[in-house]
Amino acid sequence: MIIISATAQGQIIKKEKIDWIFTIGLSQIAINDWKQGETSGFEFSSSLNLSSSFRIDTFLLRLNIRYASGVQYISNNNNDFEYLIPSDNLLFGETAFVYPVGWKLNPCVSAQFTTQLIESFKLVHGTRVNTASLWDPVTSIESFGFEFSSSSKENYLTSQIGLSIKQIKAEKFTKLTDDYKTHDIKERYKHQSGIQWKTNTKIKITDEVTYRGTLGMFGSFEDLRKWTFSMTNQLNLKVFKSIGIIININLNYDERQMMKLQYIQNIRFGFIISPN
């Protein structure tokens, strides 16, 4: 008689913590005067910021998902114009594996992507010009480096720096991938290697006021004098339970997009839903 025995040991996955915040904002305008005529409009927006950490044996897995979506409608009673314009338009995801070795800087590997949720366009002399859509373009970055983290029950800060590979893929909207030196060819893929630095922050100032921010910088080895820069800032002020004021200030600099600092700033009144 032959007896075969086997034992299996599953990997223990332990949830460290989860932090999320969901907002819904609404703003409205109504104008009727001799300078601008009779104009009305409104804006609806929503956003989600979700971050979670899991312990897998000795490794730490971090997940981060963000989206921001908004639409603005403006019209006048003379039907001279009627616009439905996207405002906030972002989809972001990130995964990071961290190996805590007890140092102030722990080794980590991460991957992220950034794209749009819905089709984007801008108005040029009253004409709609499409600029981007879902996954077109999409930017992905893979990094290997080190992470510094500090957290408490209410606050946290994580900062990573490392060697990175950046890819931009496009199909129709090739502004970020096209090489202007080759006039007869529309490049739909761009590859760069360089250095990336990124930081995520949450600070609970009071029970009613919370700040969340991100900072990202990338420098290509082709020319380390030129860096791309992005920064998001969200300040939530709860007025009554889940009702409050949402202040967003987003900054971005990328020479491929525009030769000056880009910004999105808005103040909205709406719902702020979070576990804390």
pLDDT tens digits, residue range 135-152? 999 999 999 999 999 988
pLDDT at 257 over 70: yes
Runs of H (alpha helix) within 75-165: none
Distance between CA 147 and CA 44 in Å, rounded?
37
pLDDT at 9 over 50: no
Whether residue 143 contacts residue 159, with contact meaning beta carbons closer than 8 Å, is answered with no
- Which CATH number is correct for 13-273, 1.10.8, 2.40.70, 2.40.230, 1.20.120? 2.40.230
Q: What is the CB neighbour count within 10 angstroms for residue 1?
A: 2
pLDDT at 190 over 90: yes
Q: Which amino acid is at 90?
A: L
Region 50-79 average pLDDT: 88
Residues near 65 by beta carbon (within 8 Å), at least 6 away in sequence? 48, 49, 50, 51, 92, 93, 94
Distance between CA 107 and CA 12 in Å, rounded?
21
Distances (CA, A) of 54 to 24, 67, 78: 28, 21, 57
pTM of the model: 0.87
> Per mean pLDDT, which range of 5-14, 90-99, 126-135, 198-207 is the poorest?
5-14
Residues near 161 by beta carbon (within 8 Å), at least 6 away in sequence? 145, 146, 195, 196, 197
Q: Reduce the secondary structure of 193-255 to three states and give it as a string.
A: EEEEEEEEEEEECCCCEEEEEEEEEEEECCCCCCEEEEEEEEEEEEEECCEEEEEEEEEEEEC
pLDDT for residue 87 = 85
Distance between CA 45 and CA 71 in Å, rounded?
6
Distances (CA, A) of 118 to 64, 219, 236: 20, 28, 25
pLDDT for residue 33 = 73
pLDDT for residue 111 = 97
pLDDT at 11 over 60: no
